[in-house]
Every structure is written in C-alpha cells, then in structure tokens.
Structure 1
Amino acid sequence: MKSVKLSSGYDMPTVGLGTWQAKPEEIERAVATALENGYRHIDTAFNYNNEDAIGKSLELWLNNGGKREELFITTKLPHYGNRAAEVEKYLNWSLEKLKLDYIDLYLIHMPFAFLCDASGCAPGINDDGSYELDLLTNPVSVWKQMEQEVKKGKVRSIGLSNFNENQIDEIWNNAEIKPCNLQVELHAYHQQKSLRNYCASHNIVVTAYSPLASPGAKIHFQTKYNYSSDKFPDLLGHPVVEKIAKAHEKTTAQILLRHLLQNDVIVIPKSASPQRIALNINIYDFELNSDEMADLNALDRGAEGRIFTFLFFKGVERHPLYPFRDELQ
C-alpha cells in the first residue's frame, strides 16, 4: 500500500474504502474484505450511520492480530453538529462507535450547518420539508475546537470536506494547526483543477469521494430525498475509458482510479462487492501514459460535471455558507 505524507506528519494511504450508502448489514463484510485485500484506509462519517458496523469489523481484525498503527480511519463531524460546543460530543460518539482510542483524520463534513432534531442523530426538518438551517455556525470556531481535540490526542490529523477555496482560506488564515486534507467530489467529469492547484500550493492533500462518479447515487437520492437529477454520468461505460482499459487489460474503474492517483489525488471508492473491492486496490502495477492522461483530463466538464450540489437538502442554498453559490448563479 502506497501512502502520502500529510503536513501533520502522518502517512495517509492513497487508496481507501469509501462507505457512504453502505448499509450496516453489508458494511461489516465489506470492511473485512477490504482489510483482507490490503486496505488499511477506511473512510466513514457520523451521518453515514454505519460507524457501529465498521467498529465491529475493526475490533475483530485487531483482535486477530492486526495492528492499530497500520490503520488509517477517517470520519467526519456531521453538518447537524457543526458548532464548536458540539465537536467533542460527536467526536466521542464516533470513537465509541468505531471502538477506537483516536481518529487518524477528522473532517468538518460541510461548511454549512443544520439544527439537529431531538435525537441528535439527524437534522431538523421544517413542516414544508426544508431543513432547519443553523445560521449562527462559525467554521473558524469549529476548527479551533478541532485543534483542541488534536492536542488531547483524540485526533491525529484534521481537515475539511466540501469547502470552497474562500472557505478554506478563512480556516487557513485563522488556524494554528493547518488543514492537511480536503475531501471533495472529484472524478473525470469534475476534476476540480483550480481547487487542486490551490491545495497543492498550501500543502493540502486532496481526497476524491465518488471517484467513479457514484453510479449508485441516483437511486439513493430518489429514494431518500425524492430528489432527481439528470447529472449522473456513466463514466464506467465511457468509450475513452473503455479503450484505455482494454489496452491495459484493466477494468474501467481501475483506469478512472489510476487517473486520479497520477494526478496526486487519494481515492476512496465505495463497493460492497468482494470482487470489486479487490480490483479497486489493484491499481499500482500499471501506469497511464501521457496521451492517456491527456485524453482522460479532457473529459472534465468543470462545474457542469458536479453531481453533489446538496440541493437534495431542501432549502440548503439559502444558507450563507452554501459552498456552490457561484455555480447556481
């Protein structure tokens, strides 16, 4: 497993298992399969509602001789807990669920915030179906509390997710411990070149979620949020990708993941299929040539390629910290 050195001083594996949309009943097997196939990087979030199941798999692996220092576990502060006073509560909750003493990388999941319902495990919803916006959240104050959790030893590295350049800049300019990682939607149709350049200039490592353009997201959005979008591309079946895959005798998924790796991006593909989990990490034994990289780079659609606008959270665009306001205009 290859890794990159974060500015925090810790090594982050360049391929991880994504777990968004993974049901608790399938996640235990998926994590176990991933660990058996050499994965050591597992990505989750409090509001994926699967940390308990992941914790069971991690505990079993550790009890069978695995070493905690070999693992790299990422989780995230939920958008409905995006307040300085809530950071420690949700972090402790995640540690308990994951059965860990520390988190390797803790991210602020979203720059915007919702109020939470009485359970503390879901956002509040208004009578018209819109989300209860927390208009008082302050990402800098949240970040300051994240820094305290690093000093307490509960977290080793801290970073951001779904923040735009200006929002990252505000954190950067007010941070004692600088963000070392940014996790964003990133795939061949949405390559985020400006944002990647910004991160490179600030020594922030970029992680791509939905590196295969999340082929299962459309059904999820329609089922959970009654939200339909026409922006779901079929990158796995794209003729350019298929041609390159044939030349290397690899799957199209492996080509798309390798393309991001060669652009210095960490990838966290999600799968519940044992076969695909094994294939997705098997991308270190070949290299795309300059022409192939250029052909894949040319697939970029810029902002038009974005799938995750978060507009499935009804009313989110009214939040002052909604990160894609310029694209809506």
Structure 2
Amino acid sequence: MSFGKILSLNTGATIPQIGLGTWLSKPNEVENAVEIAVRNGYRHLDLARVYENQDEVGRALKKVIPSVVKREDLFITSKLWNNAHQPKEVEKALDETLAQIGTDYLDLYLIHWPVAFPPGQGLFPKHPSKEGEVALDLDTSLVDTWKAMIELPKTGKVRAVGVSNFTVEQLKGIIAATGVKPAANQIEAHPLLPQDDLVAYCKQEGIHLTAYSPLGNNLVGKPKLTDYPAVQAIAKKVGATPAQVLVAWGVYRGYSVIPKSVQEERIISNFKQIELSKEDYEEITKLGQTQHTRYVFNIPCNYSPRWDINIFNEPEEEKASNKVKIQ
C-alpha cells in the first residue's frame, strides 16, 4: 500500500503531503471517516478543538492503534482555539485536546486564527453590547500567544508548533519579536485563491504550507470548484476525478493538502495522487487570474456570531472596527 509523498518541516520532522480534513462533519461521521482513511493509507490527520469532534477522532484512533498503525506512524495536527490565546490558557488547551483524542502528544499544534477571544466563556463568547457578534480580546497580541506556543515542545506534548490563517505581515511580526519561525502555516489555498505572495514568503522562510479547502466549498452558495469546466475537462483528459485534479494542483505547488470527505469512496479517491502536466497546471491556474474567491472568509459567520475584525485586508473587511494586534 502506498502512503503518499512525504515533505519536510523546518524542525527536521516529516509530514505526509496528503491528509484528511475533519472540519464540518455531522455527529459520528468523523469517527468512521478517520478509520476508513487510516485503513486506506492516510497518515496525516488534521483536527481542531473548534470542530467539536476530536472525541470522535479519539474513538477512531483506538480502532486503528496499534492494530493498523503505530502512533508514531501518524502525523496528527490540532489547533489552539481563539478563546485560549492568553498565555496561561495555551498549555491547558493543548491538554484538553490530548485528552479528547487520547494520545500523549501532537505532531503539530497551530494557532488556529490570528484572533483572540476572552477565555472561560465558551468557544464563541457573546459580545456584551453588540447582538450577533462575538466578544474579542483586544489586549492579547499574537506575539503573546506565540511566545507561549514556542514553549510547548519542551513539554514533550507536541513535536512542532505553527500557525493558521496568518498573513505575511502577521508572520513577520511574530518572527521579529521571538526569532522563532513557525513550522507551518495552514491556509485556504486553491485555484481561486492561490495566495502567491504568501506562498512565496513561506517558501523563502522555510515555513511549510498546508492548504485547506483545496476543493473550495459550498458554504457561501458559490459554484463548486469541482464543477468548473476547466477542472472537469482536465479530469476527463487524465482519467481522474475533478477532486483529484484539484488536490494535484496543490501538490504541484509543493505544499501539503488536506481534502475533507466523510464518504468512503471519496476518501479513498482523494488519496490516489495523480500528477498534472505543466500545461494542465497552468490551465487551472488561469482560473485565479480572473476570479478571487475566499470561501473561508471570517468563516465562523457560517455557524457562529460575526467577528468584527480585519484579518486579511480583504474588501469584505473594510467596515471592520478592529485590526489584529500583532505585538
């Protein structure tokens, strides 16, 4: 059985290039999906506290460790949620995640978003005076949180630390303040959001990139990337599924990719890597020259109150009252 290509982190550790995403699944779907994935060659699993299904992942891991894989054969990523950005909360949040999934350590732990919420009031604390908005912690900076994160590997509870949804400016800020580069930055990346400047910066600095939503998604009522004629034409040409073509587009760019599915056929199919020719890669890349779509934009608006904060400097954020506090 092939376990796929392996990439390297700046820590010297390796990370499987194709992983399984576990976001936005109905109750009890993720347990089954993780078990199917591991039994069919996946060794990279992407989790997060806010997905509220890490206990399901834990149940699946009990079914495959050690009967199918050893713990050290898996690469497990999870993420620090916004309500645990204060330094004293960081290790406690990691401990909670480890208890949920039933392992002694993570391979990678990320700051999920460059946004802090007040602790102790649930995952999405309500704003005290603005209906429909989440409360923000505007005193805790990214540097405050990053300083706590970079202490975690010393505990043995995590092998590497990194960030997610960080811009070039935010990365430069935490690196300048601490001298420590994240092992990884997990970002939304696909043909309609190539993020070329961010990709180039991370490559230059040796920061690994993981692409989430590589197939786009249908949360915002926009056409699915898998339905685009150019993607379907190339899929037909190379004898692959549109999803395989989009995964291959990310692979061509050199980062890890974490497509998400809970359907057995698609989980297995997404893992079967194909290689795009330069011509086919460039044809799909053209999609981003005429369109710009960030599917996961201030994403919790889809299932939580609005965050009144400018994260990416996108047009949709122009009316935001607050900016990310880097230092």
Do both proteins adopt the same fold according to a TM-score greater than 0.5, normalized to the shorter chain?
yes
Q: Cα distance, 1:174 vs. partner?
A: 2.3
Residue-by-residue CA offset, 1:84-124 (whole Å, 9 max, x unaligned) = 11101100000111111111000000111122454xx4221
Distance 1:130 1:183, change over 3 A: same
Which of 296, 301, 312 is the equivalent residue of 1:308?
A: 296
2 CA distance for matches of 1:95 and 1:68? 13
2 CA distance for matches of 1:310 and 1:108? 15
Q: Contact between 2:39 and 2:64, CA under 8 Å: does it hold in 1?
A: no
Q: Contact between 1:183 and 1:208, CA under 8 Å: does it hold in 2?
A: yes
Distance 1:315 1:12, change over 3 A: same
Alignment match, 2:149 = 146
Distance 1:134 1:298, change over 3 A: same
Alignment match, 2:278 = 290
Q: Contact between 1:112 and 1:137, CA under 8 Å: does it hold in 2?
A: no
Alignment match, 1:123 = 124
2 CA distance for matches of 1:107 and 1:287? 29
3-state SS of 1:325 partner: coil
2 CA distance for matches of 1:302 and 1:184? 21
Q: Cα distance, 1:233 vs. partner?
A: 3.0
1:163 aligns to 2:166 (yes or no): yes
1:78 aligns to 2:68 (yes or no): no
How many residue pairs get aligned? The number is: 309
User: Residue type matched to 2:307 in 1?
Assistant: V
3-state SS of 1:89 partner: helix
2 CA distance for matches of 1:304 and 1:281? 27
Q: Cα distance, 1:326 vs. partner?
A: 4.8
2 CA distance for matches of 1:75 and 1:32? 17
TM-score by length of 1: 0.89
Which of 248, 252, 256 is the equivalent residue of 2:238?
A: 248
Q: Cα distance, 1:275 vs. partner?
A: 0.1
Say what the alpha-carbon RMSD is for the aligned residues: 1.7
Q: Comparing 21-30 with 205-214, which one deviates more in the overlay? A: 21-30
Which of 97, 100, 105 is the equivalent residue of 1:102?
A: 105
Q: Contact between 1:190 and 1:301, CA under 8 Å: does it hold in 2?
A: no
2 CA distance for matches of 1:34 and 1:154? 24
Which of 63, 83, 89 is the equivalent residue of 2:92?
A: 89
3-state SS of 2:287 partner: coil
3-state SS of 1:212 partner: coil
Alignment match, 1:239 = 229
Identical columns (%): 37
2 CA distance for matches of 1:142 and 1:116? 13
Distance 1:302 1:200, change over 3 A: farther
Q: Cα distance, 1:209 vs. partner?
A: 0.6
User: Residue type matched to 2:104 in 1?
Assistant: D
Q: Cα distance, 1:81 vs. partner?
A: 1.4
Unaligned runs of 5+ residues in structure 1 are: 219-228
1 CA distance for matches of 2:78 and 2:281? 31
Which of 56, 67, 70 is the equivalent residue of 1:67?
A: 70
2 CA distance for matches of 1:99 and 1:156? 16
Alignment match, 2:48 = 45
Over 4 Å off, 4+ runs: none
2 CA distance for matches of 1:86 and 1:302? 43
Q: Cα distance, 1:309 vs. partner?
A: 1.8
Alignment match, 2:247 = 257
Alignment match, 1:205 = 208
TM-score by length of 2: 0.90
Q: Contact between 2:124 and 2:305, CA under 8 Å: does it hold in 1?
A: no
